[in-house]
Structure 1
Amino acid sequence: MMGRFSNPVLLKELKLRFRAFKSFSGLMFYLAVLCIFVAGFLLIYTQFSGTGFFRPSDSFTMFAVLSVLQMGLVMFITPGLTAGAISTEREKQTLNILLTTTQSSTQIIVGKLLSSVVFLVLMLVAGLPLYSLVFLFGGVSPSQFITIFLFYLVTLIAIGSIGIMFSTITKRTIVSMIATYGAMIFLAGITAFFFFVGVSMEQMQAQTGNVQNLTPFSPITYFWASINPGALMITMLYPDMSNALESIVGISLPIWIVYLIFYMLITVICLFIATRKLRANMKTNR
């Protein structure tokens, strides 16, 4: 019974990843960046002395900036871990050997993805002691903390799926990595640009006096905000921003619902394409 759920590819990838020195060096660099930020933040807010006060509002500010910084690091590291999952096997000429095993395409793809996701989750868990300082000073509720980490998990799984897909359909790791980072730039930057363009166009129309008496309704602008990780994080940290967004686009549906549906669809579609394309060039004689 347990053999049906075992994944040798996942076990092999976990052993190789956690035995590699670069994995621990990357984890050390990640924690060093967070430690430097937290130490600098505390020193600045206490005015480089032991007599300064650190209010709960300051603690929430540290939590917000630390969450944004950690999200940026996750989005920067995830493509590097997943974009070469399959293309590296192809470059090392070990992919054909892997495909001749009894493992299905789904097991191979899911094993490669989960090995990267587990390492990223380890990075998030390793940063928990730094978040404990936030609860020490107060200003942050446990529900906000849990929501942020669930947001991390959904986002990194979706980004990992995009990296696995590009790694499968491209032959070179560098091409896959560029494509994955390009997708990240679109989701994090281009969508924000389109959102601000849509808001600016609505403001220009309102200034002309043609739509002053009409209730704002802009589903396209709402969609660009809904799929942007930064916009969702801001609305989770500052609920008042959600009300401001509703007044701009005229849609009361919380953006986290659209975000969750969109990124779950991205994950399923990317994994489906990767599974179908993994053995696309293999010929069967039946």
Structure 2
Amino acid sequence: MKSALLNPVLNKEIRLRFRSAKSFLGIAAYLGILGLISLGFIGMTLSFDYAGVFRPEESRSMFLMISMLQLALVIFITPGLTAGVISSERERQTLPILLTTAQSSSSIILSKLASSLSYLLLIVFASAPLYMIVFLFGGISPVSILASFALYVFTMLVVGSIGVLMSTLIRRTILAMVTTYSVAFFLTGGIAVIAMMLTNFNYAYYSQGTDYIWPYVFASVNIPVMFFSVFEGSVVQELQTMAGTSFSPWITFFIFYGVIIAGCLLIAVRKLRPRMKTKGKPAEKMG
């Protein structure tokens, strides 16, 4: 495992990504946008408050807005960083050279994924000081902040593994990127819309005294819904009441996406190296 993560491929990718001035300009722009949004939210809130006081519940609303915005940015940026890690090597005709090195397929895939997500991790954790504004006014607990950052990392792994898989299976970077965006948007926005539509039928089942499990199923595998439930615990309770079960949707969430992460990476590793077909009968063993 150590050789799969600490290898020349990972070192090269990280050096190329972090030595560029565009990378640090991107981080500065990202933090500047989040900072302006935070200050704008505080300014608008104070302008509509006659006492000119920024209350803890308003600080909590600001934290929720910034967190959901950052989650959307993570989902939007990750495919662009991961969907071309293998296909771009194939387009530059450097993939055969990479495959002739001593690095295994798992080492190459994991290194490409780690180097792509490392830049996004730096962006997300660089925004941590902005979240400290919340502690000046109260309204949110440190546990919620840690949980939100943990879900950011988990979301990166989910979308990043899908991007690496599409980059391995699809030869063109543009097609791989479009496919990754389509899958990521379906897992986030598409499933959320389906869960909301199914929730509208809850009253018909409730009036008949029967359980209605489908909104629970779709909501428990939707990243934004489960992320929102970190701050609004009543969402989970409502889903459990609707389905008539005490089974935590978080277990379903992590099992579902854990299988996706493992499956995508395993398929990418197996499909990275083309299987060479030999003509005629295989050579007989000597001896």
State the TM-score, normalizing by the size of structure 2: 0.91
User: Match for residue 212 of structure 2?
Assistant: 217
Q: Which amino acid aligns with 1:184?
A: A
Cα gap change, 1:101/1:127 in structure 2, threshold over 3 Å: closer, same or farther? same
After superposition, give the CA deviation of every residue in 1:251-270 in whole Å (9 maximum; x if it has no partner): 32222221111111111000
User: Match for residue 235 of structure 2?
Assistant: 241
CA distance in 2, matches of 1:46, 1:135: 17
CA distance in 1, matches of 2:157, 2:169: 19
State the identity as a percent: 44
Is 1-10 or 143-152 further displaced after alignment? 1-10
User: Match for residue 98 of structure 2?
Assistant: 98
Contact 1:222-1:251 within 8 A present in 2 as well: no
Compute the displacement of 1:4 (Å).
7.2
Paired residue total: 280
Q: Secondary structure at the match of 2:54?
A: coil
Cα gap change, 1:126/1:161 in structure 2, threshold over 3 Å: closer, same or farther? same
CA distance in 2, matches of 1:236, 1:49: 28
Cα gap change, 1:194/1:3 in structure 2, threshold over 3 Å: closer, same or farther? closer
User: Match for residue 172 of structure 1?
Assistant: 172
Q: Which amino acid aligns with 1:79?
A: P
Q: Which amino acid aligns with 2:58?
A: D
Q: Secondary structure at the match of 2:109?
A: helix
Q: Which amino acid aligns with 1:212?
A: S
Q: Which amino acid aligns with 1:53?
A: V
Compute the displacement of 1:22 (Å).
2.8
Which residue of 220, 224, 232 corresponds with 2:226? 232
Is 182-191 or 243-252 further displaced after alignment? 243-252
After superposition, give the CA deviation of every residue in 1:75-120 in whole Å (9 maximum; x if it has no partner): 1110000000000001111111100000000000000001122111
Q: Which segments of 5 or more consecutive residues in structure 2 lack a partner in the other structure?
A: none
Matched, 1:134 2:134: yes
Compute the displacement of 1:165 (Å).
0.2
Contact 2:202-2:212 within 8 A present in 1 as well: no
Q: Secondary structure at the match of 1:237?
A: coil
Q: Which segments of 5 or more consecutive residues in structure 1 lack a partner in the other structure?
A: none
Q: Which amino acid aligns with 1:248?
A: M
Q: Which amino acid aligns with 1:143?
A: V
After superposition, give the CA deviation of every residue in 1:114-167 in whole Å (9 maximum; x if it has no partner): 112211111111101100101111111111111111111111111100000000
Cα gap change, 1:250/1:3 in structure 2, threshold over 3 Å: closer, same or farther? closer
Compute the displacement of 1:36 (Å).
1.5
Contact 2:5-2:111 within 8 A present in 1 as well: no
